[in-house]
Amino acid sequence: MAVEALSVSEKPSFTVDQMVDATDIQRHWKASVEGKLVNEPYLVLLSGKNPKVVIMDYDKFAALWEKVNNLSESLLEMEALNRVLSARLSGERLIPFKEVMAEAGITKQDLDKMPDVKLDPE
């Protein structure tokens, strides 16, 4: 069984208190945004009646971003573990990462240039 990325089937819900009109932001930033962020985790900026932008406290955003990154890493680790277990149970041979890189023509230097790739030392 493969691990799939999480999908969002529903849009997040929000209350009337979390709705902010763009005009209010231009005229009354402190009252319409900063005051509401004290009690609400995020605000939804409306253009007419349509939600367009979500505003949230930066520290809460940074914490959320970290959680998303950690979840992504965990999903990748779970997928790798799942493949190792499936291969062991079925008797399939796992292909070492070095062989995959060599076959694809990818060097360690290529991976070092990628900002989201971290390799454990050999």
- Top pLDDT among 4 and 44 is at 44
Supply the pLDDT for residue 18: 76
Tell whether 122 is covered by a domain.
Answer: no
Tell whether 50 is covered by a domain.
Answer: yes
Is the pLDDT assigned to residue 1 strictly greater than 50? no
CA distance 21 to 118: 43
Tell whether 1 is covered by a domain.
Answer: no
SS3 state at 82:
helix
Beta strand 50-55 with 43-47 is antiparallel
Supply the pLDDT for residue 78: 93
Same domain? For 50 and 63 the reply is no
Q: Is the pTM of this model over 0.85?
A: no
Structure tokens at 121: 């030392």
SS3 state at 13:
coil
Q: How many structural domains are present in the chain?
A: 2
Supply the pLDDT for residue 119: 67
Supply the pLDDT for residue 2: 42
Model pLDDT for residues 68-104, shown as the tens digit of each residue: 888 988 998 899 899 889 999 999 888 888 888 888 9
Tell whether 80 is covered by a domain.
Answer: yes
